[in-house]
Amino acid sequence: MNSQELNLDNQLPTIPIAPAGFKSGFVAIVGRPNVGKSTLMNHLIGQKIAITSPVAQTTRNRLQGILTTPEAQIIFVDTPGIHKPHHELGKVLVKNAKTAIKSVDLVLFVVDSSTEAGTGDRFILDILQRLSTPVILGLNKVDLQSNNYQFIDDSYADLIADTNYSTVKFSATTGAGTEQLQKALINSLEPGPYYYPPDLVTDQPERFIMAELIREQILLHTRQEIPHSVAITIEKIEETSKITKVNAAINIERSSQKGIIIGKKGSMLKTIGTAARKQIQKLISGDVYLELFVKVEPKWRQSRLRLAEFGYQIEE
């Protein structure tokens, strides 16, 4: 084995020794729900690892995406949107987001620059100002700015007037300004080691990503009818040389939602399954047979036991 590399197990990828001047660190992406945090992380990583949806509060678990360049390794922590919680799941999500902020080297505070700063942004700023963690304000969605964007930009300048935060404008959708954002993030990090192998893009197992890709298609195809009362559990994965068979349960809270998920003669479930299967095939670079079934789990979002069973980490 090369003395420049660390390998604790012959089956594990090697982690090289960082060269002189190499930078690394953990960056929490925070902001109100639906400001484009997951879309941004996917763009920077160059691969889809976090689900996106027009529905707010899509992200549930702290998801780490890893960006490695010749100069640095950035470990992004994509947090749930910080909002006023309405159930036990919401409380867990907001608590996890706040915990993530405390345990990183840098915070990227993402806002929607197509609208002026609001009370939700000020609420998050108040949380950030209680910490000593450095912060960069990221003005996302510049592609959606109207002609009066200066008024909007001024509202965010006023928001951070009493701070030393730097500002970067970009669009996570088009990629405009993301190179400048990446440089700003690297410049704000301290010299450090590789925390992960250079070719790794996330610390989450494939099983978790598969479940999230299925949940994304449910959000996209049912929209407000099945907002967030759905959780996915991967029951079984069987791999052969020709195909990967995935058996997954769609857990919902009410019997009335079952008909919406299944659809007339199973049409909606088929649509969801087909779209999710295509995404999973991209993830594993191979053929997939996906079988979905629907289970009713009343009030699972109110139960800490059910939350844990469905894989939602409860940070202390």
* pLDDT tens by residue, 120-135: 899 899 889 988 899 9
Task: Tell the CATH superfamily of the 5-187 domain.
Answer: P-loop containing nucleotide triphosphate hydrolases (3.40.50.300)
Sequence-separated (6 or more) residues with CB below 8 Å from residue 126:
none
**Are 71 and 121 spatial neighbours (Cβ–Cβ below 8 Å)?**
no
**Are 61 and 311 spatial neighbours (Cβ–Cβ below 8 Å)?**
yes
CA distance linking residue 311 with residue 307, whole number of Å: 6
Is the per-residue pLDDT at 139 higher than 90? yes
pLDDT of residue 6: 36
Strands 23-30 and 63-68: unpaired
pLDDT of residue 184: 97
Asked if 5-187 and 206-309 have one fold, the answer is: no
For the beta carbon of residue 256, count every other beta carbon within 10 angstroms. 10
Whose CA is closest to 65, among 170, 172, 176? 172
Token pair 């987001």: residue: 97
Whose CA is closest to 157, among 189, 185, 121, 106? 121
CA quadruple 266, 268, 269, 271: dihedral positive or negative? positive
Report CA-CA distances (Å) from 145 to 170, 174, 183, 259: 11, 13, 23, 40
* E strand or H helix at 99: helix 88-102
- Which phi and psi angles does 202 have, rounded to 5°? -155, 155
Name the range with the highest mean pLDDT among 92-96, 125-129, 285-289, 299-303. Answer: 125-129
CA quadruple 41, 43, 44, 46: dihedral positive or negative? positive
Cα maximum dimension of the chain: 62
Structural domain spans, the chain: 5-187, 206-309
Is the per-residue pLDDT at 54 higher than 70? no
| Size (the chain), residues | 316
CATH class for the region spanning 206-309 = alpha beta
**Higher-confidence position of 167 and 53:** 167
Joined together, the tokens standing for residue 309 give 């069973």
- Which phi and psi angles does 182 have, rounded to 5°? -60, -40
CA distance linking residue 171 with residue 293, whole number of Å: 37
Report CA-CA distances (Å) from 95 to 60, 82, 89, 253: 11, 9, 10, 23
Q: How confident is residue 8, by pLDDT bands cut at 50, 70 and 90?
A: very low
User: In the chain, helix, strand, coil percent, each to 5?
Assistant: 35, 25, 40
Instruction: Return the minimum-mean-pLDDT range out of 55-64, 73-82, 188-197, 243-252.
Output: 55-64
CA distance linking residue 10 with residue 164, whole number of Å: 46
Report CA-CA distances (Å) from 229 to 90, 138, 245, 307: 11, 30, 26, 12
pLDDT of residue 170: 97
Token pair 């590789």: residue: 194
